[in-house]
């Protein structure tokens, strides 16, 4: 049955999966999200492709709503916070940051995070290659080396295909957990999905609108 959130125990840590495509870590008063891709719309607009300007604003508004609801002290971005080089969407992000200066922001750098670190420093954002909390290791992508910690990462924009009556099919974003790793869905609205396959060892939580259900 669909829920408005899903609580799971991973590596002795409590994780609350949210339909806004984020994870709340209540023990640490921390929000975790991946692949916001701010600036992607602006990147395409610079190339003459008419992408709506409000996409970045909508993602930041959703993040503000999560802050108001859950009151985190820290937000950790698992890479690809800003999609490309500097464009107008950065100005919206600056304005958003000014409204939330009390929140500690940490960016685990992703392959699209090509802006100079000095810009993030101006907004009091800590930029790192990886980050640890308890038994959890946060990265943008799965490393080649094995780890003795449970790895949470993004990058893939995971989705799962759900079949209904009459052979209808729909692809939904999802949280995808395996034995030693978990993948977060892309937080940004202007992102695609990479369809993953169901497997016996995976725990999959699909997101449909404002609800989450285990597949």
User: Does residue 22 lie within any of the structural domains?
Assistant: yes
Give the tens place of pLDDT for each residue, 112-167: 888 988 999 999 999 999 999 999 999 999 988 888 999 999 999 999 998 777 67
User: Does residue 16 lie within any of the structural domains?
Assistant: yes
Give the tens place of pLDDT for each residue, 76-100: 999 999 866 667 788 889 999 999 9
Q: How far is CA 213 from the centre of its chain?
A: 18
Q: What share of the chain is helix, strand, coil (3-state, %, to 5)?
A: 20, 35, 40
User: Does residue 134 lie within any of the structural domains?
Assistant: yes
User: Does residue 71 lie within any of the structural domains?
Assistant: yes
User: Does residue 21 lie within any of the structural domains?
Assistant: yes
Buried b / exposed e over 119-151, threshold 16 CB at 10 Å, is ebeeeebebeebbebeebbbbbbeeeeeeebbb
User: Does residue 1 lie within any of the structural domains?
Assistant: no
User: Does residue 10 lie within any of the structural domains?
Assistant: yes
User: Does residue 60 lie within any of the structural domains?
Assistant: yes
Exposed, middle or buried: residue 77 (CB in 10 Å: 0-12, 13-18, 19+)? buried
- For the chain, the average pLDDT equals 88
Q: What percent of the chain has pLDDT over 70?
A: 87
Residue 75's CB: how many other CB atoms inside 10 A? 20
Q: For residue 34, what are the domain limits?
A: 6-214
Q: How far is CA 30 from the centre of its chain?
A: 13
Crossing angle (nearest 10°) for helices 89-99 and 54-70: 20
Res. 44 pLDDT band, cuts 50 70 90: very low
Q: How many domains does the chain have?
A: 1
Encoding tokens for residue 168?
């209808």
Res. 195 pLDDT band, cuts 50 70 90: confident
Q: What percent of the chain has pLDDT over 90?
A: 60
Instruction: Supply the CATH number for residue 132's domain.
Output: 3.60.21
Give the tens place of pLDDT for each residue, 166-191: 678 888 999 999 989 999 999 988 56
């Amino acid at each position: 049955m669909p829920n408005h959130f899903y609580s799971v125990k991973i590596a002795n840590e409590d994780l609350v999966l949210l339909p806004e495509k984020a994870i709340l870590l209540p023990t640490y008063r921390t929000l975790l999200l991946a692949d916001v891709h701010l600036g992607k719309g602006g990147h395409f607009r610079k190339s003459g492709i008419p992408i709506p300007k409000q996409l970045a604003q909508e993602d930041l508004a959703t993040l503000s709503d999560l802050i108001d609801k859950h009151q985190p002290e820290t937000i950790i971005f698992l890479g690809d916070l800003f999609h490309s080089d500097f464009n107008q969407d950065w100005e919206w992000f600056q304005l958003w940051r000014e409204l939330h200066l009390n929140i500690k922001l940490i960016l685990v750098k992703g392959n699209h995070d090509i802006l100079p670190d000095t810009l993030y420093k101006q907004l009091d954002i800590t930029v790192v290659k990886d980050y640890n909390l308890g038994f959890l290791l946060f990265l943008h992508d799965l490393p080649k080396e094995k780890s003795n910690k449970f790895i949470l990462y993004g990058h893939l924009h995971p989705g799962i295909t759900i079949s209904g009556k009459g052979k209808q099919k729909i692809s939904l974003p999802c949280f995808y957990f395996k034995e030693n790793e978990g993948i977060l869905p892309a937080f940004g609205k202007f992102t695609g999905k990479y369809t993953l396959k169901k497997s016996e060892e995976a725990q999959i939580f699909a997101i449909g609108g404002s609800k989450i259900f285990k597949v």
